[in-house]
Amino acid sequence: MAAPRSASKRPNFLMIVTDQQRADYLGCAGHAILKTPHIDGIAARGVRFDRFYVANPVCMPNRATLMTGRMPSLHGVRHNGIPLSLSENTFVDLMRHEGYRTGLIGKSHLQNMTDNLPEMERRTEPRDDAFAEARKPEPVAGDAYEEERPWTWKDDPDHEIATPFYGFEDISLATMHSDKVGAAYIAWMKARGGDPDTMVGPENSLPHDYVAPQGWRTAVPEELYPTSYVAEETMDWLESYAGEDGGRPFLLTASFPDPHHPFTPPGKYWDMYDPADFDLPESFHRLSNQAPPTLQWMWENRPPGDGSRNAGQVAYTVTEREARESMALTCGMITMIDDAVGRILARLDALGLADDTVVVFTADHGDFLGDHRVMLKGPMHYGGLVKVPFLWAEPDGANGGAACSALAGTVDIARTMLSRAGIAPYNGIQGRSLEPEIATLEDHGGGAVLIEDDQQRTIMGFEGDFRVHSLVTQRWRLSVYSGAGHCELYDLENDPHELTDLYDDPAHAAVKAEMLERLAKAEIDTVDRSPFPTAIA
């Protein structure tokens, strides 16, 4: 195995992030149908983690964890709808401070990007003064938390974001998903002859015979689709860096809005995969009266035929045909991303930058995508939702093609990036550097990962907002719900599809007790260590 490398020469970093992509939806992860040769090439030159977990299974909290290296309960983005505080340090802030040129192309989602009102019920009378929250208001001027809002870009299509934006000094922003992406993408599209009013959304879709909810054949051509925007802007940024930077190493994030629903792969990617070729997951047909109450509620209250499935972010159930079509369309979106990644990597190489650049690939969270007959995401921590891809490729190809089964997750990314760059982290950063795992392929961590989930919606039979925390070990997954009459325990070794909840099984009482103790200790370990003390008393 390769020895840990010296950080005396600071590498460049190209981090590629997708939105709502399961860990098993890559060719290198063993998918039987999906073709991703360029992303597979990153794995072939580096290490693929096959037990990599989110800190929270929705966009904003996990993206904030990626940026800060801190769990959602610490950085404050407990669920979608809470912007990441500008007072929070990010690893990008620190790398920029230490001399890196930093750029973000595509989706950020560190701030709210809709005008929807919150759904959480207040537990105190609302105030509109300096005592509205437990902390005093931050001294932030203007519209610093409105950068991703739709009205910001509607009023000013050429809006320039105040930088550094969470540490990014260069930014080309894309908001929302599928063919309904907004922000700077719209001006880019119009400059190339595109017309959102006649191309975007189901009302402008091309004829098709698919019935999958939130799936339509977009009229946006491939060359004007958001994936092409991210690829083109990323390549232009690399060209600018190669021509003008003058020696600073770079950290560039290319963040694709796909394959998040709605399912709208453009052009040839729409019918690139035949739904009939996809096998349904084993859990699709294994419905049981012993299923958790959340899952039973889904089958009874979000059934096929429910018109509300055609919009929004709330999970729903599907028929066999709908599941297969959703899988096929998702694969079309991923293959389009893969082609874009191929173009980006080719440009990186052509510019002479590949030999000095670490390439990282991950996603913000997964998707049920037919598991247990459910689509999208929600507070049920099945593997398809909470496991995401993570690839790390060194310029020298060390351990190329290797798989690492260490238990790790999004919370580890920031510390790993800083460690590889030779930069000391800030106090309070969590996770660990995965450099030892990348070098040895062995697990140097604690053998468990913690997943937090804080919901503001009233869904899945719960009477109000609720929380669920999970602890995952090599063999077990324990999930504990607040305000609910049930918890869950699964044997991932003998029940990989998570079909049988063992929490109340007397034969597993000892395992339950051990997992509850480990969860309690993990929660204690998560308590904030920032600020550092200034005295003994």
Which helix (H) or strand (E) segment holds residue 327: the answer is helix 320-350
Is residue 520 one of the residues assigned to a domain? Answer: yes
Instruction: Give the chain's domain count.
Output: 1
Please state, in angstroms and rounded to a whole number, the distance separating the CA atoms of residues 310 and 66. 30
- The two three-digit tokens of residue 466, written as one number: 């609720």
Is residue 460 one of the residues assigned to a domain? Answer: yes
Q: Helix, strand or coil for residue 467?
A: strand
- The two three-digit tokens of residue 499, written as one number: 């079909």
Is residue 536 one of the residues assigned to a domain? Answer: no
Amino acid at 413: I
pLDDT at residue number 4: 43
Q: CB within 8 A of 521, min separation 6: which ones?
A: none
Is residue 5 one of the residues assigned to a domain? Answer: no
Of 112, 165, 176, 169, nearest to 140 (Cα)? 165
Is residue 299 one of the residues assigned to a domain? Answer: yes
Please state, in angstroms and rounded to a whole number, the distance separating the CA atoms of residues 118 and 460. 18
pLDDT at residue number 376: 96
Q: Which residue has the tokens 């189901």?
A: 202
Is residue 4 one of the residues assigned to a domain? Answer: no
- The two three-digit tokens of residue 41, written as one number: 């090439």
Range of the domain at 388: 12-114+146-526
- The two three-digit tokens of residue 503, written as one number: 């929490």
Is residue 403 one of the residues assigned to a domain? Answer: yes
Q: Which residue has the tokens 């190339």?
A: 192
Mean pLDDT, contiguous 10-residue spans, the chain (537 residues):
53 98 98 98 98 98 98 96 96 98 98 83 81 85 90 94 97 97 98 98 97 97 98 98 87 98 98 98 79 85 85 92 98 98 98 97 98 94 98 96 98 98 98 98 97 85 83 98 87 96 96 98 97 93
- The two three-digit tokens of residue 267, written as one number: 């052009």
Which CATH number goes with the domain that contains 379?
3.40.720.10
pLDDT at residue number 9: 79
Is residue 199 one of the residues assigned to a domain? Answer: yes
pTM score, whole prediction: 0.96
**Beta-carbon count within 10 A of 321 CB:** 14
Which helix (H) or strand (E) segment holds residue 526: the answer is helix 509-526
Alpha helices by DSSP H, listed for 364-443, are 383-386, 413-421, 435-440
Write down how long the chain is: 537
pLDDT at residue number 3: 40
